[in-house]
Amino acid sequence: MGSGWAVLTKPEVTPIGDSPPSFDTMLGFKDGRKPRVMLTTHQEMRAARLDHEFRDYCAHHYLNLEVCRRANYPWVVKCGAEKHAWDVCAYEDYVLRMKEYERERRLLERQQRKKQAAAA
């Protein structure tokens, strides 16, 4: 089902957008989790005048793509490898964010089931 429908029908167990996680991020991970690391610093992004929409975990790939585009203009088609690397990174970031959303949703449902069982 769509997330809009889920918000209407089950608002208590539907996480809202990019809100921070309400549960411990290590919950359910016995050996811990690998932390996500920004490879591009805020100073580098500011110096490159990167738009806010591109300031994410794939910013280093986007900067490489922009450097290649400037170096090869008007033959920007030569930057296919850089564009592909950026696209793959953006896709992997999207999948990871969707997994986090789904994890949050399932933990909210679990919490609600536990409350109902305790109330019964």
- Flag whether 12 is in a domain: no
Separation CA 84–CA 79 (nearest Å): 9
Percent of the chain with pLDDT over 90: 65
Q: Let me know if residue 25 belongs to a domain.
A: no
Asked whether residue 87 is assigned to any structural domain, the reply reads: yes
Q: What is the pLDDT of residue 47?
A: 96
Residue 35 has pLDDT above 80, yes or no: yes
Residue 7 located in a structural domain:
no
Instruction: Read off the pLDDT of each residue in 12-23 and give the average, rounded to a whole number.
Output: 81
pTM metric for this prediction: 0.83
Q: Which of 6-15, 34-43, 90-99 has the lowest mean pLDDT?
A: 6-15
Q: Which domain holds residue 85?
A: 42-119
Q: Can you tell me the distance from the alpha carbon of 37 to that of 18, in angstroms, rounded to the nearest whole number?
A: 18
Mean pLDDT for the stretch of residues 91-114:
92
Domains in the chain: how many in total? 1
Range in 16-20, 28-32, 50-54 with the lowest mean pLDDT: 16-20
Q: Is residue 2 part of a domain?
A: no
Residue 20 maps to a domain: no
Residue closest to 56 by CA, chosen among 99, 13, 86, 101: 86
Would you say residue 27 lies in a domain?
A: no
Render pLDDT for 44-100 as a digit per residue (tens, 0 to 9): 999 999 999 999 999 999 999 999 999 999 999 999 999 999 999 999 999 999 999
Q: Is residue 94 in a domain?
A: yes
